[in-house]
Structure 1
Amino acid sequence: MDFDHSPKVKDLCDRLNAFMEEHIYPNQELHNQQLQEMGHGIEHWENWGGVPIIEELKPKAREAGLWNLFLPESRRGGGLTNLEYAPLCEIMGRAPWSAEVFNCSAPDTGNMETLERFGTEAQKKEWMEPLLAGEIRSCFSMTEPDVASSDARNISLTITREGDEYVINGRKWWTSGSGDSRCKLFIVMGKTDPEAEPYRQQSMILVPRDTPGLTIKRMIPVFGFSDAPHGHGEILYDNVRVPAENILLGEGRGFEIAQGRLGPGRIHHCMRMIGQAEVALEKMCKRALERRPFGKLLSDQGVTRERIAESRIMIDQARLLTLKAADRMDKVGNKEARKDIGMIKVVAPRMAAQVIDWAIQVHGAAGISSDFGLSYAYARARAIRLADGPDEVHQNQIARLELKPYTNERV
């Protein structure tokens, strides 16, 4: 594996870093202020929409050629491989809201990849083109409150064929992105045939937001944060009817689609987590060089130095493992790279949560306030240990794949 980025990627990194320095970092406080002014608390989710500074910066990102960078092997997107996109996603991850400026934010990235790989030309024209243009947003509706959704075979929402329509019934939650009024498309996973082989029972279907019977019950806070205007919705599907042509790839193909969708989504989370960890380490170092308890700088304390050193080691280890996984995805595909994807999905969020926790400790009580952004960063990192499958599911798969070569010898 070549660890040196190509001239194309180096140029994109330079341009992206310059954009972040000029437009993103100086507007962090303004972004937060605009959220407050727009009433983006959890109780006001029905009024959620685009943040003015983000909308103002999107045309600038397009003009700078920093738009839809994530989409590999597509004439519609940036055309970058997963390995090429990795350092760019990490840079965007340094500011949690910046990815949307470049039309590279979740869950839209995963949904656009899903449409690109598995959608019909008609589906791409209706939904993917406006998503790529940044005209609408989307969400992915998979997790359910009444079953252990870490085992997707448990999913109970039903998708029943009736003539030229499918009828959808069930309840979902943690449907991230559904709080945004610009979210016009729900990609929903449910059961079309409960009697089929376990991994052929599920399907995915496209549901427009304004379809009768689709009700957003509430937004669920994460450690008290609303994640506005994105949000994580609890959704009721009550006899929701959509045309039969809204099915993705065909009945019984849900797991196949999930395999293709969740791989890129997981690695993008990890890339962004590395960016967040880098910011936390920077803040830790600066704070340690400023504070002098008991007549001695925090940076001179042995425990602080150990944590700074461990943070650098852990970040670089996670980055290398993420790059390896990205390289494997590009070379052998998401399915064959699933062990590599599982490993980084466990390692990167754990690493980020630990580094951010140490940064909080160096900041003292200030670290758990909202003044330094560390409490929100920690909440995001901890939540990512559950998003797209909890650690334990990935560890179980890694262990199964590791044991597989020896299984036949024991039988």
Structure 2
Amino acid sequence: MVAVAHPFRVHNFRAYWVARLATTLAQVAMVVVIGWQVYDIARRTMGIRDAAIQLGLIGVAQFLPLLVLSLWAGWVADRVDRRWVARGAVALEAGCALTLAWLTWSGTITLGALFTVAALLGVARAFAGPALQALSPNLVAPAVLPTAIALSSIAWQSGSVIGPAMGGYLYAAAPWLPYAISGGLFLLALVMLMLISAVPRAAIRGTTNPWAQMVDGLHYVRRNRLVFGAISLDLFAVLLGGATAMLPVYARDILMVGADGLGHLRAAPAAGAVAIALVFSWRPLRRDVGRKMLLAVAGFGVATVIFGAAGPLLQRWLGPDAVGSDVAPAVLVSLAALFVLGAADMVSVYIRQSLIQLHTPDEMRGRVGAVSTLFISGSNELGEAESGFLAGLIGPVAAVVAGGIGAVLVTIAWARIFPELRRARTFGPPETFEFVPVKEKPA
């Protein structure tokens, strides 16, 4: 038996990993600062609830390009060299970051500019998501793909841990600085992607009609109930339980910890996720993966409820001393809840991505990755919009708590609707499933 090389012993994967870390650092830092700037600018002329709605609209601005472009982006990732698709998307993100750095430095930043750049970032992510997801399995042997996914998640979550604090601290030093640093990180990622050598890719079977090939990705996801159940579970659970959209509101007006505290709040979920990803990179999950994913999503919902309610309840019981500093009781409980939330989400991400990648043929990974990116971004961006709009109606605390309860209810429903998730015992060979792509119609 030939030993399979660890992912970090593969040059292409090492370059990919550094690029993933750099892009995540830059993306998350920018998201934090864009959200803070939008809320800060809007709050000067609007009330808290109207400013929260602006945070929701930022999510919509990022999601609409994904909605429009995802099918095409997935087709491009299966037809064009995936390395060049990712390189182009990262170059666009670098341009967005440097533009915001200049506008902020010159004092000409406006809500319109922030919304425009958010939309352009959505365009970049529409292409980067499926290209990078489809590229990763091409870099390592299938036997170590779950380990590679865990390591890739470490890069992503490490960036998510450091990025928020980096954005908050750099913004406190100079508002333009986090954008400038993000631009540099995107350029570093572009260099790393340029270092990845050519990788093999399977040819698309079936029809040569581009539109039919795009739709094949949707058909595959719909017919493979394990893949469909895993993707849609994340969509609806995170859509309802998207507490992170309200973090600027919690940092400024509920926990009262300011911009530095916002960095800590944003970092806490990613810290929990990194801890779990490190465990999985050392000791991958092997048994009862479907049940563990369902339990993790339910835990995500419970942690969301605790985070949403902890600050107001402890402030009511303990008085003003419960908030206002990093060591205040309400802040510590909120950070702990966010840590658990991130850990639970990482379990779900790890299992879901492993199942999807191992149950999808390489020729369709770009298109299936596009559908997955659309669903995941739908859960994130639309979750932010849902949280913002709901907060405008019933207040931010009620919106977060209701979302967490909704995530638990969705998990219970999905366990019944998709028994394939409960029955997924291992990451082993997929159950018997053959997808027949659309065939060319006879002339």
Shared topology, TM-score over 0.5?
Answer: no
TM-score scaled by length of structure 1: 0.34
Determine which structure has the larger strand proportion and give its number: 1
